[in-house]
Structure 1
Amino acid sequence: MQQAVRVNPHLLRRWLGDHPRSAALAFWASLALALALLVVLYRQPLPLQQGCIAQIHDVARASLVALPLARTARGPGETLLLQHRFAWRLQALQRPALYIGEATPYFDLQVNARHLTPNVDLDAAPRRDLAPHLYALPPDILSAGDNLLSLRVPVARSLSETRVGMLCIGDYDVLLSLYKAEWWRRVGLPKACLCLFLVMAGVVFALRRIHANAPLYRCYLLCIALMSCRSVYLVVGDMPGGPANWRVVSDVSIILLIYAMYRLIAALWNIRLRHWSVAWLLAASLLQLTALWSNWTLEFPLANLLLWLSVAGTAGLVLAHSRASAPHVPALEKHCLRWAMLFAVACGALEAVTYRLDAGWRLIWLYPLGTALLAVTLGFLLTRRAILGATLLMHARQSLGRDLDQTLLHCAEQADAVWQTLSSRVAGRERERVLLDIDAGFGARMAEVVQQLRRELPHSRLQVDIQRALLDLRLMIDAMELELASLAAAFAILQQRLQPALFAAGIAAQWEVAVTQGRRIEDRRRLMELFRCMEELLSNVIQHSAAAHVWIDARSDGEWLQIRVADDGCGMRDGQPRGRGLDNVRARLARMGGSVDCRSRPQFDGTCIALSLRRL
């Protein structure tokens, strides 16, 4: 009977883990629990019933206004002057203090005509102080009768919105706990998030230096930069350029972050970006930026709320589209990123919804926390993928090595040939890399020298010599190309290199080298020597023959290859001084076991030079 009611915990755990409804329930329950816990921990304590000012006198309007208040300049810059009279009983408190939860962009505070902020000049500086303040009042500043508190706050469109939050007068120790909690919400947590962004950027930048998947890491670093803009705006007080511009940068970064996240997810999950999805996302971002740029969202709170709710909705649609487009993604990555993105979107939405509520219900600066968690999640996924990639590559190399060893054991007679082939292939790749580095460095520098000579010494022969040296360097690199297997391909590269010089000299070249189609290259050094011989002969045609046409044809006679270079120029006259070009060609062909035959009939049919050599 006991065995009939016994439940295997492993089977129950497996059933709960594999059941789709259970997984969805756990996902949404954990997200709701995290948000509820955040609201409970982050919610500001209720204002103190005694000592906190509910209404304050607006001197300009000669009326009482409720706190907290928000005001946006509709005309020229002005100063908001708020005053409050309060009675004070001596020795009522051991340490009297004044707490200001918020007075932005900045303020000048006086109690009984004594400045508590002597370093603040309302006419100077663009700055926006978002932090709370706690001032210990000296015993001699308060009188036994009537006391006057004066608070001046600038109201100007260039300084963004003016806000005055909670004002409390009471015992220093009681107000200190309120100040610390509010400081952590407004300053401490954004600073911690900013430090976290810097750490994650350093980690991913190190991964980018190690791995070659640069686009993915660039997208992540762009997202980190956009996430940091909001934290910088909240933390930094002195803002060059004006707080309004910094607020625009902060708000624009939130909108642009959605598109950057879309690109990052597409690169991370290898999602093909469709034109219609990119188009609607850019259109939505453009509309939101237009509404933000018009500044009317500051004047109408409901419009501002709708704007940021539309931004949150756009982020949710991007997440849904990315999730639907990536069925191949591992479940761990998909659930982690989905949870973090929903948490970040919910944090931003809660901040926007509660921004205009009373101080006890305002969930301010939740956006940096949400984006910080999202940055950590993305950094974890990138680091995990990099580690898995390195581990997979290590196992693949080990497996390949074991397979190669087993194969060579079964065919020991071919082991030397296999190792020789692999070694030559690796050496060839390294040789090719070194030569390409030489061409990219030395070759590019010499090309700049030629351009400078053309400007400063247009008739100098030095530029021709440098161009020939560069051509020789590039032909040498071409000859070492491993993919260059046939002689026909070699002649195609040779024609590609030499044809521009022939065309610039006004010489029409005709290449007849189809017979080399089936001949393979066996010795790279012999091919390099042949390239140099052909370059020497065609350079002589350009410089000395005054020809209008040149013919290059190749013939095959068994193992022998015959190449003929003929022109219709002036030929070589008897007694005319000759250079060393033709002698160099003869010397090169002699080292390869070949020969050179030169025939020239001046003033008739130009020069014909035939090269004969064994197969390459």
Structure 2
Amino acid sequence: MKPGRSGGWWAGRWMAKLWLALPLAALPCAHANEPPAADEVQQGDSVLHITQAELLSISGSGYSAPPRRADDAGLPSVGWKTVALPHTASRELVPTSTGGERTVTDWYRIDLAQLAPSVRQRFLYLPRWKTLGHIAVYGDGMLLYQSHGSPVHNAYNHPLLLPLNAAAHALSPASVLIRVDRLRSSGSGFSTVWVGDKDSLIWRYQARELLQVQLPFMGSAAFLAVGAFALAVWLGKRRESLYLLFFAISTMAFLRTLHYYVNGENLPISDEWFEWITVASLLWLIILIHLFLQRLHQQPSAWLTRSSVALAAASSIATLPHASFASLYLLTPLLNLMVLPVAVLIFAVNMRKALRAKLPEGRLVAGWAVLAVAFTSYDGLLQNNLVSPESVYTSPYAIIGLFFIFSYIMFQLYTGAFAEVARLNKGLAQRLQAREAELEQSYQRMRVIENEHMLGAERRRLMQDMHDGLGSSLISAIRSVEQGAMNKVEVSGVLKGCMEDLRLAIDSMESVDADLLLLLATLRFRLAPRIESAGLSLRWEVQSVPALPWLDPGSALHILRIMQECVANVLRHTQATSICFSTATDGQGVRVVIEDNGAGFAVDEALRRSGRGLRNQERRASAIGGTVSWESSSAGTRFTLWLPLHRGAMPKTTAVTS
């Protein structure tokens, strides 16, 4: 998702103000390039700014440790010359010495005679010094300070603030000697010197330390920290390669700026490898920025990618320690200058494509590229001693600007991704809501259709049952009356049976909530008057049984018909004087038992002869997953209806006993 143009425009204005403000920080340093005043010393109330010194250069064949004492008497009296500070010694690309003299020791003599000796503690403040070697400071011949670490990474970018008379009651020195070792082929640089009390110099030292060391360190460390977060995001979303590229860029930027604020004293690797990392990280930083921009504007340049990667790989291999034909320390300034045309070409191609794609971030990176090239060119001049050594390296601020710009781009992408997710979630919620509404409408239609089907099925069931039961009885009664085969009493009995059939059909439509006992109670209420009018005593031994979840109106009607048929058989055929209803739980089902004390009948013969009533009972029991059985003898008949607790329960085998 591309960030909006308005955000890119405001960010561009903010970054432009930042870049315009950065050179202002170096304005105090620029004054050091002006010609020195006629006076050797500019003295204020409590601070002395020294802009001239005497210089003696002594050739040597190698580095040597600074002596413990060094005074004017121990140095040659001839060869001294007055130089303006800041002072630079240019590199000798063509050696002028034929005696194998590779090094030079420069002695800077600063006369403090104008300052009266005092036991009050005085400090010497040196904003910058630059050399491939070491520096030592002497006060009245006594060694006060010497740099540590390697000759290459010797804390050259750190300002120096040291006491001239640190011991109690010691007088401040009348002269200061500063010893600087350097290679003939590398040159050196030496800034102006400040002498005064701590309160007058500490703010200058702290400001210079902030500009040269702390801000570059904090910027590169913040860049690396945000890059680590981008790596974590990439590990969760492997398809988002921009996050991985951002992490790689932050790592290369951190490695590139290490030499500005570390010294060689505590490095875990050798100077050669550290210098190689410094050079190689710049090359690969440019390549990674190219890949990032290419991924951003989605217009790849295959030829530029292949050629730039090949050039970076070849340069990295050619400058490996112990593999290059010359010292990498001497080649570094030249390599940095040679990288500029490649960087300009890469940025120009990518900026043209970004602007063609109307990518707002392209303007930001374009502005940064222009300033980065200018800053890098300026640092190349500073590294080659072509500008004042009192100036500040500006490349770290280009890295800080890169951090802000790329962090802004990644923030836009990150928030854009969240906005896209929110938009998708909102669309998904809307579609889900619409789908739920459709499902609700479909469900309502299905419920209407289902109710219609249920009503139709119930209507057909009742019609079928009334046709088979009540309708058949009425038709038989009508024919008998028309033929004169039935008297009034018989007609009355038939009509009463029809009324019972009708009432049972109506009772079956009532909700029984899976309660078999409630259904049996309804049956007792309907049949008890008929049983008692027939002269039979009714025993009701019904016990509590489990609920039957499957018991619906259709099943209830089947049970009622079975029970009605059984009672009708007892009343018509058995000449019984008593009838007993009972229930019990039986395995995976329940038993409903009807017993009488009549004469009994031959069940098998009754089933063979006609058995329409008995067959109807079997058919109805089978329809609801149950079974029926008869046990008949001269002492009476026992009818059993077995009903399953659940639809899937195995039915009991029908038993017939005569």
Report the TM-score, using the length of structure 2 for normalisation: 0.50
Preserved CA contact (<8 Å) 2:255 2:277: yes
In structure 2, what residue type is equivalent to 1:168? V
Per the TM alignment, residue 304 of structure 1 is displaced from its structure 2 partner at its CA by 4.2
Could you say if the C-alpha distance between residues 40 and 357 of structure 1 is closer, same or farther in structure 2, counting changes exceeding 3 Å?
A: farther
The question of whether the paired residues in 1 share the 8 Å contact of 2:189 and 2:385 is answered with no
Segments of 5+ residues of structure 1 without an aligned counterpart are: 1-16, 417-616
Which residue of structure 2 lines up, in the alignment, with residue 570 of structure 1? none
* Residues 302-317 of structure 1 aligned to structure 2 (within 5 Å): 304=333, 307-317=335-345
Distance 1:286 1:399, change over 3 A: closer
Name the SS for the 1:325 alignment partner: helix
- What is the alpha-carbon distance in structure 2 between the residues aligned to residue 164 and residue 361 of structure 1? 5
Aligned counterpart in structure 2 of residue 86 of structure 1, from 100, 103, 111 = 111
Matched, 1:136 2:163: yes
Between 1 and 2, higher relative CO (CA 8 Å, sep ≥ 6) is seen in 2
Q: CA deviation at 1:133?
A: 0.6
Counterpart Cα distance in 1 of 2:290 and 2:376: 18
* In 2, Cα distance between equivalents of 1:29 and 1:304: 33
Counterpart secondary structure, 1:140: coil
Q: Which residue of 2 aligns with 1:474?
A: none
Cα distance, 1:36 vs structure 2 = 4.3
Residues 122 and 172 in structure 2, CA contact (< 8 A), matched pair in contact too: no
Which structure 2 residues correspond to residues 152-551 of structure 1 after superposition, within 5 A? 152-153=180-181, 155=183, 161=186, 163-168=188-193, 170-172=195-197, 173-237=199-263, 238=265, 239-274=267-302, 276-285=303-312, 295=326, 304=333, 307-326=335-354, 329=357, 331-356=359-384, 363-407=391-435, 409-410=437-438
Instruction: Report the counterpart of residue 89 of structure 2 in structure 1.
Output: 69
Q: Larger radius of gyration, structure 1 or 2?
A: 2
Check whether the contact 2:276–2:328 (CA below 8 A) recurs between aligned residues: no
Q: What SS does structure 2 have at the residue aligned with 1:128? A: coil
Normalised TM-score (structure 1): 0.53
- Distance in 1 (CA, whole Å) between partners of 2:357 and 2:51 is 54
Deviation, structure 1 residue 413:
7.1
- 1:359/1:178 Cα in 2 relative to 1: closer, same or farther (>3 Å)? farther
In structure 2, C-alpha distance between the alignment counterparts of 1:87 and 1:323, rounded to whole Å: 56
Distance 2:134 2:144 in 1: 13
Q: Which residue of 1 aligns with 2:51?
A: 52
Q: Give the count of matched residue pairs.
A: 385
Q: Which residue identity does 1:69 align to in structure 2?
A: A
Partner AA of 2:372 in structure 1:
A
Contact 1:88 1:142 in 2 (8 A): no
**What is the CA–CA distance in structure 1 between the aligned matches of 2:390 and 2:111, rounded to whole Å?**
27
2:57 is equivalent to residue 37 of structure 1: no
2:153 and 2:259 in contact (8 A); partners too: no
Q: CA–CA distance in 2 between the matches of 1:409 and 1:85?
A: 91
Conserved? CA contact 1:230–1:253, under 8 Å = yes
Shift of 1:262: 1.2
Which residue in the other structure is 2:179 paired with? 151
- The structural deviation recorded for 1:361 is 7.7
The offset of 1:255, in angstroms, is: 1.6
CA distance in 2, matches of 1:411, 1:86: 97
Q: Secondary structure at the match of 1:135?
A: strand
In 1: Cα distance, 2:394 partner to 2:443 partner: 66
SS in 1 for 2:300: coil
Q: Is the 8 A contact 2:191 2:389 kept in 1?
A: no
Distance 1:99 1:407, change over 3 A: closer
SS at match of 1:115: strand
How far apart are 1:271 and its partner, in Å? Answer: 3.2
Give, in whole Å, the separation in 1 of the partners of 2:422 and 2:173: 79
Fraction of identical pairs, as percent? 14
Match for residue 500 of structure 1?
Answer: none
Distance 2:138 2:439 in 1: 95
Task: Please say if residues 191 and 390 of structure 2, whose CA atoms lie closer than 8 Å, have aligned partners that are also in contact.
Answer: no
Task: Give the Cα separation in 2 of the matches to 1:192 and 1:232.
Answer: 11
What SS class does the counterpart of residue 145 from structure 2 fall into? Answer: coil
1 CA distance for matches of 2:231 and 2:443? 43
Once the 2 structures are TM-superposed, how far is the Cα of residue 212 of structure 1 from its aligned partner? 3.8
- Shift of residue 371 of structure 1? 1.4
Cα distance, 1:151 vs structure 2:
1.4
Unmatched 5+ residue regions in structure 2? 42-49, 61-77, 445-658
Q: Which amino acid aligns with 2:25?
A: L
Q: By how many angstroms is 1:125 displaced?
A: 8.3
Other-structure match for 1:5: none
Query: Which residue pairs with 1:537 in the alignment?
Result: none
Alignment counterpart, residue 142 of structure 2, candidates 114, 117, 137: 114
Provide the rounded CA distance (Å) in 1 between the counterparts of 2:139 and 2:59. 19
2: CA distance between counterparts of 1:278 and 1:43?
39
Worse-matched range after superposition: 106-115 or 166-175: 166-175
CA shift for structure 1 position 128: 1.8
Between Structure 1 and Structure 2, which shows a larger proportion of helix residues?
1
